[in-house]
Amino acid sequence: MNISPIDVCRKQQQFFRSGAPRSAAFRKEQLKKLDSLLRNNEKKIEDALYADLHKHPQVVYTTELAPVYEEILLQLKHLKKWMQPKRVSTPVYLQPSVSRLYPEPVGNVLIISPWNFPVLLSFRATVGAMAAGNTILIKPSEYAVHSAALLEEICNQNFPNEYLYVLNGNGHDVLPVLFDECHFGKVFFTGSTAVGSKIMEMASRKLSPVSLELGGKSPCIVDATANIRIAAKRIVWGKFLNCGQSCVAPDYLMVHRSVKQTLVAAIISEIETTYGNEIKSNPDYGRIIHERRYQTLKNYLKQGEILYGGETDDAERFIGPTLLQNIQPGASVLKEEIFGPILPIFTYDNTDEVLAFIEENPYPLALYVFSNDSNIQDLFIKEVPFGGGCINETTLHLGNSNIPFGGIGTSGMGGHLGKYSFDLFSHYKGIVNRKNWFEPAFRFPPYNLQKLKLWKFLLGRKRY
């Protein structure tokens, strides 16, 4: 059925105002339906993601589907509790009163998802918006052609469009029209910092609040105390997963000079153990999403000395796992988020050098520290502003829905997952319920110095 984006928005706003999405029974029904639809279409999802990104079925399940299933389970488990008003304390000068927070859905939610994890990053946020009682419009990336078409098929054939709808099309054409005509209770965008800035600007036209999951230069630091074998294994997995096309992939490696040679040898060994000597024919290794991105990555290969790898195939948009060193000063690979299977390697002698290097591209989305020294671990956690990360691991912090995933500064705003998603897509009404059995006379005019003295005692006295 053909329906204009503006008509969809209006229908969803009308459906939301009817109150239908607010009941716990309705929310649970929709969450369970989404779970069943994804499970029943796993093979189609595998095929679409292979066509778009050459993803292996195991990667599809572990990084695209399983986290969504887990998020649905968590929301279903806690939904009744999270929906309840929460009593909070009331200061003495407002007595006799009871104060509560009432969670309310924000309304019509727009989720703009990227091409690198099109199922995960469309539906994980959708789950939170569903649980919070909203209507949802999903705009997937047009670059993941097969995945976007499948998302449209799965959702638009099984959910009423006044509740959940997938809108495909070129984002440059579709989104400005939406933002010009529609107010959204929340806009949730995952993508690049540059595009995120434009989304925020467009959303401001109707004062639609935004949550931005962006990217940046995410450092991976390996000090002299690290377990090199384990570090190499986990760095290779986190960096070359999805052919490096992940917003939380280690963007560059900072390794203590004393262990650089050992670590590089271990990384090369792990690459060859993982993907073999004929990487292009390995079904576990992905491809670059489109030609423009492929050409950008090929240009990065020219900006330093290739320590390992560097193989390309234009016909398949294949770039093999590559280690770079001796990067040219001012090179774009030092400033831009790489988003591909290229890992620049830098050495350091002391932690001040690392902190100064990170500060050249502040506010990374993720940070990874491989060290067995708790003081080093704490130093980087405390001294570097970043979204989230791991100690002696990469990327897996995204798998824990009990901690928020989100950026800071130029890497984003507004964390989600689990309860944080429910909160992100909710508005908490604060209510003070006064009792009628007592009414202090000193509250009302006529004012005098005695009343002022009493107010100073109640409001201005030191409590520390």
Q: How far, in Å, CA of 432 to CA of 96, rounded?
A: 10
Long-range contact pairs involving 404-408 (C-beta distance under 8 Å, separation at least 24): 405/213, 406/211, 406/213, 407/212, 407/213, 407/214, 407/215, 407/216, 407/363, 407/365, 408/363
Q: What is the identity of the amino acid at 214?
A: L
Question: Cα–Cα distance between 409 and 364 in angstroms, integer?
Answer: 9
DSSP H stretches of helix in 96-192: 120-131, 145-156, 171-181
Whether residue 103 contacts residue 132, with contact meaning beta carbons closer than 8 Å, is answered with: yes
* Cβ atoms of 355 and 384 closer than 8 Å: yes
Phi, psi for 318 (deg, rounded to 5): -100, 130
Spatial distance between the Cα atoms of 414 and 416, rounded to a whole number of angstroms? 7
Q: Is residue 155 among the annotated active site residues? A: no
Told to judge if 64 belongs to the known catalytic residues of this protein, a careful annotator would answer no
Of 46, 64, 213, 336, the catalytic one is: 213
Catalytic residue (choose from 247, 270, 337, 390): 247
At what angle are helices 24-40 and 120-131 packed, to 10 degrees? 160
Spatial contact of 384 and 370, defined as CB atoms under 8 Å apart: no
Edge-first strand listing for the sheet containing 108-112 = 164-166, 135-139, 108-112, 186-190, 210-213, 412-413
Helix (H) or strand (E) holding 8: helix 5-17
Concatenate the DSSP letters of all residues of 343-370 into one string: EEEEEESSHHHHHHHHHTS-S-SEEEEE
Please give the Cα distance from 82 to 78 (Å, whole number): 6
Residue 392 · residue 402 · CB < 8 Å? no
Tokens of 253: 């490696």
Distance CA 313, CA 298 (A): 10
Please name the residues in contact with 23: beta carbons below 8 A apart, sequence gap of 6 or more: none
Supply the angle between the helices 171-181 and 5-17 in degrees, to the nearest 10: 40
Give the tokens for residue 179: 């933002």
Please identify which residue in the block is written with the tokens 């790489």. Answer: 338
Active-site residues, by number, are 213, 247
